[in-house]
Amino acid sequence: MDAVDAAILEELKKNARASASQISRRVNLSVPAVAERIRKLENAGIIAGYTVRLDREKAGLPLLAFVLVRVDGTENIRAFRDAVTRYNRVLECHHIAGAYDYLLKVAAEDMQTLETLISNTLKTVPGVAGTNTMIVLKTLKEELNA
């Protein structure tokens, strides 16, 4: 991957629906060359897919929170991972180092929905020994694709 590929990726990050023609004008490369580079990036797995970026507030999910989760016992890890990946309000789940084992990014309609997810769903998963929730007041930067 070179600087031109990086520039193409930046354009696709801004607008995944941009045509090869639009991108070619921005990176000073011919349309066929841009299309070929995109194909190669896809085949190499660098571009893993294309998606829609939702406006959470307009979609009815204005509350964003990060939930730290501690899971006791290695025998409970699989159950936790299986459960958490099924929850549609969990946007991301990261296995982390430190006092907690997992960091979840959660979107919810309101505080009641978040409380229900944490208290009645998440904490009932076998092995979940503790959580710590942080409510997002405002997002200053959110990079969807590093």
Q: Which amino acid is it at 114?
A: L
Band of residue 65 on the pLDDT scale cut at 50, 70, 90: very high
Instruction: With H, G, I as helix, E, B as strand and everything else as coil, classify residue 70.
Output: strand
* Average pLDDT score over residue span 53-71: 93
State pTM to two decimals.
Answer: 0.82
The pLDDT, as a whole number, for residue 142 is: 85
- Residue range 3-43 forms a domain whose CATH class is mainly alpha
Question: 77 Cβ partners below 8 Å, 6+ apart?
Answer: 71, 127
Phi, psi of 55 (to 5 degrees): -85, 105
Distance CA 50, CA 34 (A): 17
Task: Annotate 111-130 with b (16+ C-beta within 10 A) or e (fewer).
Answer: eeebeebbeebbeebebbee
Distance CA 120, CA 115 (A): 8
- pLDDT > 80? residue 146: no
Instruction: With H, G, I as helix, E, B as strand and everything else as coil, classify residue 145.
Output: coil
The pLDDT, as a whole number, for residue 67 is: 98
What pLDDT, in 10s, does the model give residues 95-121? 999 999 999 999 999 999 999 999 999
* Average pLDDT score over residue span 35-62: 91
Q: Which amino acid is it at 69?
A: V
* Average pLDDT score over residue span 84-97: 95
Domain borders along the chain are 3-43, 63-135
Say if CB 56 and CB 108 are below 8 A apart.
Answer: no
- pLDDT > 80? residue 144: no
Query: How many percent of the chain have pLDDT more than 70?
Result: 99
- pLDDT > 90? residue 37: yes
Query: How many percent of the chain have pLDDT more than 90?
Result: 85
CATH code for the structural domain at 63-135: 3.30.70.920
* Average pLDDT score over residue span 36-54: 91
